[in-house]
Amino acid sequence: MTISDSENRRNKLIRAAASLFHEKGYAATTVRDIARAVGLQSGSLFYHFRNKEEILVAVMQNGMRRTSEAAAAALDGLSDPSERLRALFRAHLETLLGDLQDDMIVLLYEQRSLPIEARGELVKLRDEYEQVWQQVISDAVDAGVVRGDPGVVRRFSLGALNWTVQWYRKDGPLSPTDLADEFLNTITI
């Protein structure tokens, strides 16, 4: 399957927008900034998107879908609750602190910039992703790997993992995988 030139340009626009929204913030980034980042005239951008809000939604959907795909790939073929929990933590942090960092930071911090009518698809994607987390954590609680209410453990875990974008440094002593293991040490029995 080949990606058309139009789809390739659209993907480049999404990546450039993610980077700019992360760096400057959604409100401070102009359509002209995004177009310039990929070598387009600002009017040409509207061939791919109706407005800047639609670009923001695309950035967030991209981050959420790719994070969900990474989680599914990490869990594929695993049945042991402890291994599944470790795989999920690692996949989340590797995604959050890796290639998709811009998408995910925008998803985490720019939701307030979305109009209410644009939130539906993102809420659906988030709920599907969190359901995977809920199942893995519930299985870990049932197996005696983790103690506590599965819903609270899920919220605590995702909140702590997501906060790493505020303080994690790639040149620090821990890789995302090592950091995931450290987080697991705090919640596993």
Question: Count of alpha carbons within 13 Å of 49, Cβ hemisphere only?
Answer: 21
Alpha-helical segments (H) within the chain = 5-24, 31-37, 52-75, 81-96, 101-109, 119-142, 150-167, 176-187
Instruction: Give the C-alpha separation, 32 to 40, whole Å.
Output: 9
Confidence of residue 75 (pLDDT cuts 50, 70, 90): very high
Which 3-state string (H, E, C) describes 26-65? CCCCCHHHHHHHCCCCHHHHHHCCCCHHHHHHHHHHHHHH
Instruction: Give the C-alpha separation, 153 to 133, whole Å.
Output: 10
Helical (H) or strand (E) element with 174: none
- Residues 103-123: tens digit of each pLDDT: 989 998 898 888 888 888 889
Write down the residue that tokens 């998107």 correspond to. 49
Confidence of residue 1 (pLDDT cuts 50, 70, 90): very low
pTM for the full predicted model:
0.88
Question: Count of alpha carbons within 13 Å of 158, Cβ hemisphere only?
Answer: 18
CA dihedral 94, 55, 12, 101 (to 10 degrees): -20
Domains (range + CATH), the chain: 52-187 (1.10.357.10)
Q: What average pLDDT score do residues 146-158 get?
A: 97
Give the percent of the chain with pLDDT over 90.
Answer: 76
Which residues, at least 6 apart from 1, have a Cβ–Cβ distance to it below 8 Å?
A: none
